[in-house]
Amino acid sequence: MLRLFVGIGLPPEQKLALSLIASGLPEAKWVDPGNYHLTLRFIGEVGENVASDADAALAGIRARRFSLALAGVGHFGTRMLWAGIEKNPELMQLQTKIETALIRAGLEPEGRRYAPHVSLARLIGAPGPKLTGYLSRHALFRAAPFAVDRFALVASYLTKAGPIYEDQAEYELKGSA
């Protein structure tokens, strides 16, 4: 069984920008900067045959290159602290194409509405007033835009030290950003 997701890796400059705001919150278990990525679709644990079908479906996607910018911070309830992505129609179109291709390949539809973000930390326990302070201090966070020219099918291996991500396949985007 493989634990898979479809994602976009971040360039070193964006990883550095995120790592510079990844502190100052005691109730946070920070994501290793090497693991920063933008998830397009979580697949979950699947067998080799489903992974192969997903790969074939993703290889058939045609989409143009585009640019993305990281902007703002937020949280999902008491679980996750994240950096946001500026609204981007090309990103949303790519995500829709991925979702459609994976459904056609036999995967169940994603049950949640897509909310593009980069996970910064898992929140431990109930977030206190320091979370509000953190969100205020970094509300205007913005990193330089970066070019997206590919996405990947990624395997996630869970370890005691944290997840290890390994690209299983990459898919190029065509055309200009």
Q: Which of 37, 41, 75, 138 is catalytic?
A: 37
* Distance (Å) of CA 172 to CA 60, 63, 122: 11, 9, 31
> Per the structure block, which two tokens stand in for 31?
């994501």
The conformation of residue 34, written as its DSSP 8-state character, comes to G
Among candidate residues 101, 117, 119, 153, the one labeled active-site is 117
Is 37 catalytic? The answer is: yes
CB 123 within 8 A of CB 81: yes
Cβ count within 10 A of residue 78: 12
Q: Which residues of 102-117 are buried (b: 16+ CB within 10 A; e: fewer)?
A: beebebeeeeeeeebb
75 belongs to the catalytic site: no
Positions marked active-site: 37, 117
